[in-house]
Amino acid sequence: MRLDTHRQTRHTRGRRHRVVVVGNGMVAARFIDELHRHSPHAAEGFDVQVIGEEPHEPYNRLLLSEVIAGRATLDGLRLPQPPAWVGVTRGAEVVHIDPAARLVVDSREGQHAYDTLVLATGAEPRLPLPPSTARGLRSLRTLDDCRELLAATASTARVCVVGGGLLGIELACGLRARGAVVTVVHRATHLMERQLDEASAEVLALEMARLGIAVVTGAQVTTVHESAGAVSGLELDDGRVVPADVVVVSAGVIPRTALAGAAGLTVDHGIVVGGDLRSPDDPHIAAIGDCAQEAGSWTGLLAPGWDQARRLAAQLSGRPTQSAPGVTDVIALKAVGLSAVTIGRLDPTHRVLRLHDPDAGRAITVATDGGRVTGAICVGAAPIATTLVTAFERGTPVPVDPAFLLLDGLPSTHAPAPHPASMPASATVCRCNDVSKQAILDAHAEGCRSVPEVAEATRATTGCGGCAATVCELLASMEESAPPRPPETPRAVAPVDGPSVSGAGRSHDVLKVP
């Protein structure tokens, strides 16, 4: 008999609903958080077991490139910890799924029965290189990858980054800031082809050259050159050889579907699921995040994965669910020394204006319709990008002559960015999690005094991290304006037998890295 998942309750035959989550990354962590935040009495209604391959606590994978750039630390990547009622097995791999028995087996021979199995296995780096066993070939997907890359480039002069997308460029700029000689090899005809047009990408490449980063586009790697067992360079399809002591591949990812395929589930590019996020072959098995292919669509982006986590948690909790929102409308490059922002969509039927100024290192394209900004690409024009993002998100009218949107320094168009304290309460602070300034104010009023505390209360800063500075400024501003607290009266403490324990049951603020 097929289970009607939309009518499923938290309890199964008088006991807690057993949920096994395979994967302990950002989407799995969000799913657990959604259950905990929005399911009344979740601890009594669910028996949840999370199984993750990595030995680490959950961390923000999006900020690994920021660690390479020296703008974040490994300790600062920690995500809020799961509630105490959730069981977590780290450093173990699920090796078998038995759909008939509703059982999963891990590499430690642990067996976990489930009523709902949630596959959040993520994706693995795509490696478009010829087979090679040379030392020095790396990717950046996990915390251990990050640590190894930091060690490998501590005294290495020549690094080749294969892939000129968002992450590849962020990596290249971060490694260059660490003193490496960096070359980017990109298969497409221009950088960031999913976000930029050719003219904008040309300016971006020129700016990278000014930073000392060589860029090769329209090229594929045909041979990995070795010396004494270590990589010494990459040969391209046009015969050129790029010298390299370390090669970092950043050429996209491939959904991890082998476990689902072995269990007899339908797999295409990802694990096929319907609008209810369940496999059409087994309604007791769901998939979310990078491994899932919902309604024929796969994006590889975090925001849709988070939305899937929210919807599945709501479904299990008996709450109404809404259809998934579209892909994030604002995408910003987080690269040392570079600025590139894409906003909305450039609709050719709308009014489109362009400024192409390679000498000044900027390229701006803006689309307007009905007196509103509908899309934009800004390279090398951070203040203008800030203005356009605000206009796009708030729907503010554009100037009578939209050409003013392309120019910086006009008081009527580009006033200095306001201090966060002067932002309206409804303004969005964290786009990744749709957190408003008011939510930050409310968190502060409830006692949150640090960025980690605000993150745990609101989720702000747990996405791309671009809002961290704004959150810090808001907290500082609120502390300055808050009335002084009266001194606390010392309280007498009754003696107790045995040693006292402070903060029992709380997780450490530092990410545990073996």
What confidence tens digit (pLDDT) does each residue in 17-44 have?
Answer: 999 999 999 999 999 999 998 877 788 8
Average pLDDT over residues 357-370: 95
**Which of these ranges, 51-60, 171-180, 417-426, 450-459, has the smallest mean pLDDT?**
417-426
pLDDT at 80: 83
pLDDT at 486: 52
The percent helix, strand, coil of the chain (3-state, each to 5) is 30, 25, 45
Structure tokens at 53: 């391959």
Report whether pLDDT(138) > 80: yes
How does DSSP classify residue 146?
A: H
- Span 311-353, pLDDT tens digits: 999 999 988 877 655 545 899 999 999 999 999 999 999 999 9
Predicted local confidence at residue 14, as pLDDT: 55
**pLDDT above 90: residue 100:** yes
* Range 479-487 average pLDDT: 62
Backbone angles phi, psi at 106, to 5 degrees: -100, 175
**Per-residue pLDDT at 307:** 93
Which fold does the domain 420-481 belong to in CATH?
Arc Repressor Mutant, subunit A (1.10.10)
Q: Per residue in 375-419, pLDDT tens?
A: 999 999 999 998 999 899 888 899 888 888 998 643 444 444 556
pLDDT of 497 over the 60 cut? no
- The separation between the first and the last C-alpha atoms of the chain, rounded to the nearest angstrom, is 47
Mean pLDDT of 224-239: 96
Cα-to-chain-centroid distance, residue 475: 24
**In what side-by-side order are the strands of the sheet with 230-236?**
221-227, 230-236, 241-243
Check the CA dihedral 124-161-202-408 and report its sign.
positive
pLDDT surpassing 80 at residue 490: no
In the prediction, which pLDDT does 38 show? 81
Considering only 48-57, 117-126, 382-391, 486-495, which range has the smallest mean pLDDT?
Answer: 486-495
Looking at 101-110, 144-153, 221-230, 470-479, which range is the least confident one?
470-479
Mean pLDDT of 235-249: 97
Supply the CATH classification number for the domain 339-406: 3.30.390.30
Round to whole Å and give the CA distance between 160 and 180. Answer: 10
Q: What is the pLDDT of residue 505?
A: 34
Task: Reply yes or no on whether the pLDDT at 207 is more than 90.
Answer: yes
Query: Sorting pLDDT into bands at 50, 70 and 90, what band is 81?
Result: confident
**Both tokens assigned to 133:** 């066993």
Q: What is the mean pLDDT of the chain?
A: 86
- Cα-based torsion angle of the residue sequence 276, 279, 283, 289 in order, rounded to the nearest 10 degrees: -60
pLDDT digits (tens, 9 = 90+) for 279-294: 999 999 999 999 999 9
pTM, two decimals, is: 0.83
Q: In the block, which residue shows the tokens 């041979």?
A: 223
pLDDT at site 196: 97
Q: Domain boundaries in the chain? A: 5-63+73-124+254-316, 137-251, 339-406, 420-481
Lookup: tokens for 394: 């708030």
By percentage, how much of the chain surpasses pLDDT 90? 64
DSSP 204-219: HHHHHHHTT-EEEES-
* Across 134-138, 241-245, 348-352, 402-406, least confident range: 402-406
pLDDT of the residue at 11: 44
Report the C-alpha gap between 456 and 453 in whole angstroms: 5
Q: Average of pLDDT values for 486-501?
A: 42
In the three-class reduction of DSSP (H, G, I as helix; E, B as strand; rest coil), residue 380 is classed as coil
Quote the pLDDT of residue 482: 63
Burial 160-181 (b: 16+ CB within 10 A, else e): bbbbbbbbbbbbbbbbbbbebb
The rounded distance, in Å, linking the Cα atoms of 45 and 316 is 10
Averaged pLDDT, 127-131: 93
pLDDT at 77: 92
Query: In terms of Cα–Cα distance, which of 314, 273, 327, 263 is closest to 296?
Result: 273
Give the model's pLDDT for residue 473. Answer: 82
> Residue 251 above 60 pLDDT?
yes
> CATH topology of 5-63+73-124+254-316 equal to that of 137-251?
yes
From the candidate CATH numbers 3.30.1330.10, 1.20.1560.10, 3.50.50.60, 3.40.190.10, the one assigned to the domain spanning 5-63+73-124+254-316: 3.50.50.60
465 versus 195: the higher-pLDDT residue is: 195
Task: Read off the pLDDT of residues 284-321 as tens digits, 9 standing for 90 and up.
Answer: 999 999 999 998 888 888 889 999 999 999 999 988 87
**CA distance linking residue 330 with residue 311, whole number of Å:** 22
The architecture (CATH level 2) of 137-251 comes to: 3-Layer(bba) Sandwich (3.50)
Residue 325 pLDDT: 52
